[in-house]
Structure 1
Amino acid sequence: MGAMPSPRHDALVKMFEHRPELAVEILRDLMGVELPDTPLVRLENTTFNTRRSDDIHADMVLVLGPSQDPAHAIIVEIQQDKSKAPRQLARYAAVLWLMLGCDVTVLVICPDRATAAYYAQPIESGLTGYRLQALVLGPDSIPALTDPQEAAGHLGLAAMSIMVHGRDRKVVEAFAAALTDTDDDHALKYTEYAYSMAAPEVRRLMEEIMTSTDWPVYTPFAREHFGRGREQGKAEGKAEGKAEGEARAVLLVLAARGLDVPEDVRARITACTDLAQLETWTTRAATAQALEELFDEAGGQQG
């Protein structure tokens, strides 16, 4: 069984899903790839078949052009280590080419420099004459955006700039300033993406800078989701209602973090009536890297 995807991996995938045009802009504007000039960009099913018996699953697939006559396909893969065999990427491209009948580009996002170099090498597929050259966006290719206007115009890149260059205070300041020029709902998404992708010390810097500005959501999970759940619980006016609101807050935070909650864990959370325990779980949910940390006895008693 494979390892559970990290919050950083999930945030990157969600950011591209939220705005698929980001992949086109990275390839065309940042990496100089010639792509069909079309406003039609759509997400495709990420699971496709080798026409034998096994399905293969990419992080994201998007298609340029009309569905009946696709002009180009892009496979986006998020790789934080060298665990995936490069030949698998060649296989993805070949199968998608067979299915859609159009050219395919593989874009690999690698926050780690060594991983980026690994996937940047030409990939021998094992089929004579077929060698795939994946296009890799590594930390050296992600610009440090310190201009608020530039960050506001490229919020996806600005969030990735936080991931790679967030220790530079000017990068975080530019990101925070850019968010004030965007409507709250839109900005909240990118705040969550950046926060999930950032290292712990960068998260602390984000909170410090965002609390000193007019931007109201400086810790996206604690402020938006935790607060919403608490207020809903209080409005119900009864202990049972408060517990239900707190339980919902826990689940909202976990959902915002991209953590998959099995039914048995969901049942345990919703069945808990201990408000103090639920508040503890909500606080832990904002930073937990895995569900096990939510119930860690070292951090407090279990419910």
Structure 2
Amino acid sequence: MNVDLTEIEPVERRVDTLLRAETDEGTYLLIVESQGKPDKKKLGSWPYYLSYLYEKYSWQPVLIVVTQSSATARWAAQPIHLGVRGCPSLTVQPLVLSPDNVPLIADAQEAVRKPSLAVLSAMTHGRGRKAPAILESLATALKEVEPDTAAAFAALVDSCLADPQAKQLWRDLMTAMQYFFRHPLAEEVREQGREQGLEQGRNEGRVEDRAEMVLDLLRWRGIEVPESVRQRVEACTDLEQLKVWSQRAVQVSRASELFVAE
């Protein structure tokens, strides 16, 4: 086989979060991977991440897998052995954080006392009915943390929230905190907000145009439009409903007949 291991074509590989930790023992690179379910591809990519980072920086890389699923935690905790069975050339043993080994912190006072643990709690327990209490407690705690650190914590939690509702709640909580606006994630959140605002504006414009069309069709046909009908049409925000009424407006003999089938 070819002894040249150079990759001719670049292959995009990204970890979820990469942190550099300065400790009394030296520098570590923390690879934080958020894992929602088992993925066989990780059995190859995780060893690659570790080897690549060690080759590039000569600092010890540490693989941390964060999951909100106990079943996924058991899968991720299994060592990855590469080589001869019983005598592997490379063994990867992830450090797994999950609901099974991280305490749940949903009390603001406790979160203020233990902000780092509250961050891990949000990363591993932040879903379901308890998510609002967990995330709101952490948001309170981050107000007491040094701004740059708090912003990094906020981004780390964001990367590990798999539940769309929990992620949106977290972003809503963070956009109210001034330090967060200095973090790159804040620009992403603001851009999404701008896009949503533009789309909402376009939808509102289409609704208003369609409502006006319904009323205009009735007037053009010489049909009197009572105030009650006008108010009901203008108050409707359902574009599909307005389309139905506009189709009826070319057939009915009285304005009230727009609503006969409802």
TM-score, length basis structure 1: 0.44
TM-score, length basis structure 2: 0.49
Q: Between Structure 1 and Structure 2, whose CA radius of gyration is higher?
A: 2
